[in-house]
Amino acid sequence: MSFILAPDRAAAARSLAAALVPGQRVCLTTHVNPDGDGLGSEAGLAHLLRDRGIEAVITNPTPTPPRFQFLFEDIPGADRTGEAIRELRRADVIVVLDISDLGRLGMLSETVRTRGVPVACVDHHASEGVLPDGPRYLDAGAAATGELVFEIAVANGWTLTEEAARGLYVAILTDTGGFRFSNTRPRTLRVAAELLEAGVDPEQIYLEVYARAPEGRPRLFAEALQTLVVEPDFGLAWVTVPPGAIERLGVSSDDLEGVVEFPRSIEGVRMALLFRELSQGRVKVSLRSVGQVDVAAFAKGFGGGGHTKAAGLAVVGSLAEVQSTVLSAARAYLAANGKPPGRAPVDRPQSDSILPSK
């Protein structure tokens, strides 16, 4: 394989692998409402570890959405999310993927915090979090956690089977919005190319992830998009999931993926938001930006986090209260961070060629 890592990165990848020893029981976990990156990274790493005699199981705080269940079909019994706490109590090592913060582990956070075993972490989020001690492989420059799992495999000389590659491809495909977002770097496409070389069928993955939706998904989009509000003076646009719509339409919150791209797609919009009621009197806000607006920094002000152009937060309050507070803050934030929208100069990534130097 023609992939070259900087020496410090390779060393970090090897120390992480050194904590994962054959015969051990390893729990892989990710954030609440797991997405394609969290789940694909888990599937990829589970295959890589199992190929090395390490029993890796998946223990997430909330269930695997139907469209990602195919990722675990070839590892029968590996998705132990239903018994996550029991599994975590038996684990020799815990690996947290696609998040660095205990708080985002939901109902599992207390168990992970108090377990007393090494807690490794592989993540690409900009926001710093708190986790118990263990090896880290972090890089906010990576498009997806799956890209980092790929690097760990390469640095350790692990063979990448088609099954492992499939999970990592799903991770990168979903977190880059199908290789469209600004996190799509030269390196991202080089990794994706290696995954295709390992045998991944991109059309098959596309069909599994994006073309097996329940009828309720487009209906949910229709209802949410009906609520669109645009404030051109601020460069602000938002949509709201009508309370109860997800349950009524028989879909899950995972089926909302992509809806916030519609307010974001409007000319002149610099910040797009999606509001949705959660249980226990909380409201989730998904934030996306265009240009120079840093929504991770904005989300941090509400205890949330994420990436510069894609972030989220969840706060206590009624839908109307949270909307009013967050939108007022967003208007002020946009006014204070006010470069006019338009054609910003392209932010050229530094070369990170993985081809062997000639």
Cβ pair 89, 115 in contact under 8 A: yes
Q: Does 147 bind Mn ion (CB under 5 A)?
A: no
Site string for ligand AMP, 96-125 (x = CB under 6 A): --------x--------------------x
Cβ pair 38, 106 in contact under 8 A: no
Task: Compute the least distance from the CB of residue 9 to ligand AMP, in Å.
Answer: 22
Separation of alpha carbons 149 and 168, rounded Å: 7
Separation of alpha carbons 250 and 55, rounded Å: 35
Q: Which is nearer to ligand AMP, 155 or 326 (CB)?
A: 326
Binder of ligand AMP out of 13, 31, 160, 273 (CB under 6 A): 31
Question: What single-letter DSSP state applies at residue 52?
Answer: T
> DSSP readout, 215-243?
THHHHHHHHHHTT-EEETTTTEEEEEPPT
Q: Which is nearer to ligand AMP, 31 or 185 (CB)?
A: 31
Secondary structure of residue 13 in the 3-state scheme: helix
Q: Which among ligand AMP, Mn ion, none contacts residue 313 (Cβ within 5 to 8 A by kind)?
A: ligand AMP
Element (H, E) at 312: strand 310-316
Cβ pair 28, 42 in contact under 8 A: yes
Spell out the residues 6+ positions from residue 71 whose beta carbon is closer than 8 angstroms to its own. Answer: 39, 40, 42, 43, 64, 166, 167, 170
Amino acid at 72: F
Separation of alpha carbons 146 and 191, rounded Å: 9
Binder of ligand AMP out of 34, 40, 146, 312 (CB under 6 A): 312
Q: Does 35 bind Mn ion (CB under 5 A)?
A: yes
Query: Which part of the chain contacts Mn ion (CB under 5 A), choosing from 93-101, 281-289, 295-303, 323-331?
Result: 93-101
Structure-block tokens of residue 75? 């590892």
Backbone angles phi, psi at 122, to 5 degrees: -125, 120
Q: Which is nearer to Mn ion, 167 or 235 (CB)?
A: 167
Q: Does 174 bind ligand AMP (CB under 6 A)?
A: no
How many residues bind to Mn ion according to rule CB under 5 A? 6
Spell out the residues 6+ positions from residue 287 whose beta carbon is closer than 8 angstroms to its own. Answer: 260, 271, 272, 273, 295, 298, 299, 304, 306, 310, 311, 312, 313
Q: Does 101 bind Mn ion (CB under 5 A)?
A: no
Q: Does 37 bind Mn ion (CB under 5 A)?
A: yes
Query: Which part of the chain contacts ligand AMP (CB under 6 A), choosing from 45-53, 83-91, 192-200, 301-309?
Result: 301-309
Q: Does 314 bind ligand AMP (CB under 6 A)?
A: yes
Site string for Mn ion, 107-146 (x = CB under 5 A): --------------------------------------x-
Task: Compute the least distance from the CB of residue 316 to ligand AMP, in Å.
Answer: 12
Residues of this chain that interact with ligand AMP (CB under 6 A) are 31, 104, 125, 286, 304-307, 310-314
Residues of this chain that interact with Mn ion (CB under 5 A) are 35, 37-38, 98, 145, 175
